[in-house]
Amino acid sequence: MSTDEVESKKRRRTSTQPMDAPDLLVGRVLEGRYRLERVLNAGGMGIIFEATQLSVNRQVAVKVLKPTLTRDPSLVERFQLEVDMVAQMAHPNIVGLIDTGIDTTGLTYLVMEFVEGKTLRQALRAGDLKLWEILEVYGQVCNALIETHGQQIIHRDLKFDNIMVQRMRDQSIHVKLLDFGVARLLSWDKRLTQGGQVAGTPGIVAPELVDGLDPSPRSDLYSLGVLMFTTFAGQAPFVADNDLALMQAHKTEPLPNLKALVGAQVPEEVIDLSCELLAKAPEFRPQSATMVRRRLEKMARRIRERFPDATSYMPPVTEGLEKPASATFDTDIKRFTQVGETKGADGDDRGWIGWIFPRPVVAPMTVTASLSLILMILVVIMIYLFFEQVSVTGTNAAKEADDEQEVVEESEESAEATEYPQYYDFPEPMQGPRPPTP
């Protein structure tokens, strides 16, 4: 047996072992067609590689479902749903699907076009974009959302690292929207997110999704508002110590004053749109991505005409543009056991909360708030009844006192009548002339 055959057999034996460490898959050739060159990103479910399509010697991006997750039918089904969704979309602002398959060792993968350029996070930190170009970037993101929403698909994970920005040879900007790993197909009746799970990234999840409500196009628009706020202010609208507290902040805390944070370098109409997108209730946000795109295009055109020689935009601070240190921000599915604690992708035990509440753990917080309100109403009613009783008691006491006074007066009158009886009636004086006096 030749050395090459020995190495090939050794590779086949070792490749059947679970290998979730991304670097262990580098150099692997999938079905003799795609060679994995280097790791681009790793999330909760998949690993994305830069790869070479050997038949035409071109760069592609390959997303591989983590081998240890292939034992979970729901995750395999979710991965296949992502393939189906990307396959049905052909749009200049959405990454294109090239191929999909399962190699001989059971490794599930999908092949997409390789997008040259930087993530939006990298471009903003490097100061590559002028203010009107930033608005143009978000306008193209809206173009992608118009297509996805038209296909009844909600992205649910719209964040800086899922937006690729390309500077073309003519210096124009071109945007690609990536990663539909936690997207929701509205026409798909089956829920792939189990009870107690919140799909997406905590810092951008719309408030209504935290309570387990169904996503809508306006849920993606909320995430767009988070990105715009962070872009201009250089800091996220809300911060917290853990994922659960962060999502609660998006639900309950008032939005910081963006105008005070950015000063005069951002027009008020841009600030107004960013704040409208961050409305807590979906009905108060813009109706559609189409409406947002129109406003962005008009603002970008006016700013470009007014400030043709403007330099790149840099926010007052840049903390919000740093990549989150916590890996939980990049996982596809968040599971919560109790306040401030998370469970890994392989953990299913959510404690007593999981038995009582099949919805995400934030839903009990809403129940608690409702019970507190009911308790307050009951207390107010009890206080009202107490004072009403006191008032009635006082009125009765006053009436009884009056009755007693009347009884006393009647008794005194009766006593006087007894002490001075009128037994004799004196006759009236006689009428007529008086008799003569002798």
Residue with tokens 């006689």: 430
Please report, rounded to a whole number, the percentage of residues in the chain having pLDDT higher than 70: 73
CA 346 to chain CA mean position, Å: 24
**288 domain residue, yes or no:** yes
- Position 233 pLDDT exceeds 70: yes
Task: Retrieve residue 77's tokens.
Answer: 């089904």
**Model pLDDT, residue 56:** 95
**Model pLDDT, residue 367:** 57
**Model pLDDT, residue 261:** 94
Angle between helices 268-277 and 289-306 (to 10 degrees): 160
Residue 230's CATH number? 1.10.510.10
270 and 364 within one domain: yes
314 and 258 within one domain: yes
Q: Give the residue with greater pLDDT, 127 vs 419.
A: 127
Closest by CA to 155, choosing from 124, 134, 186, is 186
* Dist. CA 426–CA 49, nearest whole Å: 134
269 and 139 within one domain: yes
Q: Say how many residues make up the chain.
A: 438
**Model pLDDT, residue 70:** 74
Q: Which residues pair with 335 in a beta bridge?
A: 197, 343
Least confidently predicted of 34-43, 82-91, 348-357: 348-357
Mean pLDDT of 199-225: 88
Alpha helices in 280-361 (DSSP H): 289-306, 351-356
- Position 326 pLDDT exceeds 60: no
Task: Retrieve residue 224's tokens.
Answer: 């767009």
Confidence of residue 58 (pLDDT cuts 50, 70, 90): very high
Edge-first strand order for the sheet with 46-53 is 29-30, 34-42, 46-53, 58-65, 108-113, 97-102
**149 domain residue, yes or no:** yes
161 and 43 within one domain: no
pLDDT winner (highest mean) among 213-217, 331-335, 368-372, 389-393:
213-217
Mean pLDDT of 144-161: 92
Q: Which residues pair with 298 in a beta bridge?
A: none
Q: Give the residue with greater pLDDT, 15 vs 293.
A: 293
**392 domain residue, yes or no:** no
Q: Give the residue with greater pLDDT, 268 vs 319.
A: 268
The phi and psi torsions of 192 (rounded to 5 degrees) equal -95, -10
* Dist. CA 223–CA 216, nearest whole Å: 12
292 and 157 within one domain: yes
Least confidently predicted of 26-30, 53-57, 93-97, 334-338: 334-338
102 and 242 within one domain: no
**Model pLDDT, residue 435:** 58
Least confidently predicted of 42-46, 90-94, 137-141, 336-340: 336-340
* Dist. CA 408–CA 416, nearest whole Å: 13
* Cα–Cα distances in angstroms (integers) from residue 221 to residues 163, 201, 339, in the given order: 15, 14, 27
Q: Which long-range contacts (CB under 8 A, 24 or more apart) does 27-35 make?
A: 28/107, 29/54, 30/62, 30/101, 30/103, 30/107, 30/109, 31/101, 31/103, 31/104, 33/99, 34/60, 34/62, 34/99, 34/109, 34/111
Angle between helices 362-419 and 243-252 (to 10 degrees): 50
Q: How many CA atoms within 13 Å lie on the side-chain side of 436?
A: 1
Mean pLDDT of 255-264: 94
307 and 231 within one domain: yes
Please report, rounded to a whole number, the percentage of residues in the chain having pLDDT higher than 90: 43
Last residue of a domain, one of 113, 137, 162: 113
**Model pLDDT, residue 120:** 95
Q: Is 310 helix (H, G, I), strand (E, B) or coil?
A: coil
**Terminal CA-to-CA distance of the chain, rounded, Å?**
187
Residue 56's CATH number? 3.30.200.20
Q: What pTM value is reported for the model?
A: 0.69
176 and 65 within one domain: no
**6 domain residue, yes or no:** no
**Model pLDDT, residue 371:** 79
98 and 127 within one domain: no
- Position 169 pLDDT exceeds 90: yes
Mean pLDDT of 151-156: 90
Q: Give the residue with greater pLDDT, 426 vs 219.
A: 219
Q: Is 276 helix (H, G, I), strand (E, B) or coil?
A: helix
Mean pLDDT of 314-341: 55
- Position 268 pLDDT exceeds 80: yes
128 is catalytic: no
Last residue of a domain, one of 113, 142, 175: 113
Last residue of a domain, one of 113, 140, 174: 113
Alpha helices in 109-180 (DSSP H): 120-125, 131-150
- Position 387 pLDDT exceeds 70: yes
64 and 207 within one domain: no
**286 domain residue, yes or no:** yes
138 and 27 within one domain: no
Least confidently predicted of 194-203, 303-312, 331-340, 379-388: 331-340
**5 domain residue, yes or no:** no
Residue with tokens 């006491």: 397
- Position 324 pLDDT exceeds 80: no
243 and 168 within one domain: yes
Q: Is 207 helix (H, G, I), strand (E, B) or coil?
A: helix
Confidence of residue 425 (pLDDT cuts 50, 70, 90): low
CA 59 to chain CA mean position, Å: 35
Catalytic pick among 4, 23, 84, 157: 157
Q: Which residues of 150-171 are buried (b: 16+ CB within 10 A; e: fewer)?
A: ebebbbbbbbbbbbbbebeeee
Confidence of residue 142 (pLDDT cuts 50, 70, 90): very high
**Model pLDDT, residue 71:** 75
Tell me how far apart the 2 most distant CA atoms of the chain are, in Å: 187
- Position 241 pLDDT exceeds 70: yes
One-letter amino acid at 152 equals: Q
Q: Is 303 helix (H, G, I), strand (E, B) or coil?
A: helix
Domain hosting 46: range is 20-113
Kindly state the DSSP code that residue 319 receives in the 8-state scheme: G
**Model pLDDT, residue 231:** 96
Q: Which residues pair with 167 in a beta bridge?
A: 173
**170 domain residue, yes or no:** yes
**382 domain residue, yes or no:** no
- Mean of the per-residue pLDDT values of the chain: 79
Mean pLDDT of 342-370: 47
Confidence of residue 368 (pLDDT cuts 50, 70, 90): low
> Total structural domains in the chain?
2
Task: Retrieve residue 307's tokens.
Answer: 């400030």
**Model pLDDT, residue 149:** 94
228 burial level (CB within 10 Å; 0-12, 13-18, 19+): buried
**Model pLDDT, residue 359:** 44
